Amino acid sequence: MVVHAITANLTYEFAADVRAGLTKTGQKELLSKYLYDDVGSALFEVISHLPEYGLTRADERLLRRYAGDIVERLAGPVAVAELGSGSGKKTRQILEALCRRQRTSYYPIEISPTALAMCQRELSDIDCISILGFEREYLDGLLEVAAQRHTGQHLLVLFLGSTIGNFDPMAGLKFLNQVRRILQPGDSLLLGTDLVKSSAQLLAAYDDRLGVTAAFNLNLLARINRELDGNFDLAHFEHVAKINHQSRSVEMHLRSMRRQTVNIPAAGVAVEFLEGETIWTESSHKYSLEEVCQMSRTAGFRCDVQWVDDQWPFAESLLVAE
């Protein structure tokens, strides 16, 4: 059974972040975590099945192929915490492998209640696991999970799907440092990272021909309209994906197609847009295998082993807290 630990004042926090991001000097921006409301989460599930977007399938292939190897490398009794569980579909492989040796507590941590509900439905047929979900930001949820661990129990933290790529490299390192401070020596982090690949392959993945990624990105403006009484006209904005070669990342933007003013009463702001001006909504940084290990070592982990998909350049790295 999933029990939600609900963060208070979510609408107030959303409004404050929207106001701060859209009134920022220079490049306007919105935090990528707000892409994943109920509609956004459903659209991302569709994206994960598109032929152009091979990342999710690579993630799933690696977990299906190596779940047994991953579990064999874990010491002692283990509880599993997942940062951003989504539907939980990929996690099944790890949980089933663990259940062949022990009963397992699984703690999905999500800001989307819909994703938590999907996760519960996806995994409820595995008899030897108990599920307690936290509707929390990643670190807040992980702190609560760590507080519940039993004596002698290790944590396996799952951070799959290359979500670490949504941080710039310095912010990603800071995040890994924060995770490490919560963990104890011998705990593990299974980290998914998308690897460097061609610009053509990346642009196709983030600007698909069917327009699903565009709908996913534009839904962020629709969410502001729904939840904060905004008056964005989605017909006057377009989805843009572009490569930032300097940072080796793909950026998603929403570009204003005309000069316009948007009112967002619940955020207490009216925002002026020039024709061609963009809102930066997400970045996805791409790594090399050695960069993943170096970042992990700096954060206090030992890079124990890395598995790489042979169809789409993507890696799972098992990091052990030292």
Q: CB 317: neighbour CB atoms within 10 A? A: 24
Structure tokens at 178: 């924060």
Alpha carbons 311 and 252: distance in angstroms, whole number: 24
Residues 6+ apart with CB under 8 A from 52: 204, 205, 208, 209
Alpha-carbon separation of residue 233 from 28, 31, 196, 219, 236 (angstroms): 17, 20, 36, 11, 6
What average pLDDT does the segment 242-264 reach?
Answer: 96
272 within 8 A of 265, measured Cβ to Cβ: no
Nearest to 79 by CA among 151, 17, 162, 171: 151
Please tell me the number of Cα atoms within 13 Å of 9 on its side-chain side: 5
Q: Per-residue pLDDT for 2 more than 60?
A: no
Predicted local distance difference test score (pLDDT) of residue 10: 76
230 within 8 A of 224, measured Cβ to Cβ: yes
Phi first, then psi, for residue 79 (nearest 5°) are: -110, 150
Q: Per-residue pLDDT for 45 more than 70?
A: yes
Q: Per-residue pLDDT for 7 more than 50?
A: no
Residues 6+ apart with CB under 8 A from 78: 98, 102, 104, 153, 154, 155, 156
Predicted local distance difference test score (pLDDT) of residue 9: 67
User: What CATH number should be reported for the domain whose range is 55-197+287-321?
Assistant: 3.40.50.150
Alpha carbons 298 and 176: distance in angstroms, whole number: 9
Tens digits of per-residue pLDDT, 285-313? 999 999 999 999 999 999 999 999 999 99
Predicted local distance difference test score (pLDDT) of residue 116: 86
Tens digits of per-residue pLDDT, 174-201? 999 999 999 999 999 999 999 999 999 9
Predicted confidence band of residue 249 (pLDDT cuts 50, 70, 90): very high
Q: Residue 97 — left, alpha, or beta (φ > 0 → left; ψ -120 to 50 → alpha)? A: alpha
316 within 8 A of 66, measured Cβ to Cβ: yes
Helices (H) then strands (E): counts for the chain: 10, 14
As a whole number, the mean pLDDT across the chain is 93
Tens digits of per-residue pLDDT, 109-168? 988 787 888 888 899 899 899 999 998 899 999 999 999 998 999 999 999 999 999 998
Exposed e or buried b per residue across 245-259, where buried means at least 16 C-beta atoms within 10 angstroms of its C-beta: eeebbbbbbbebeee
Predicted local distance difference test score (pLDDT) of residue 129: 92
Residues 6+ apart with CB under 8 A from 51: none
Structure tokens at 217: 């990105």
DSSP 23: T
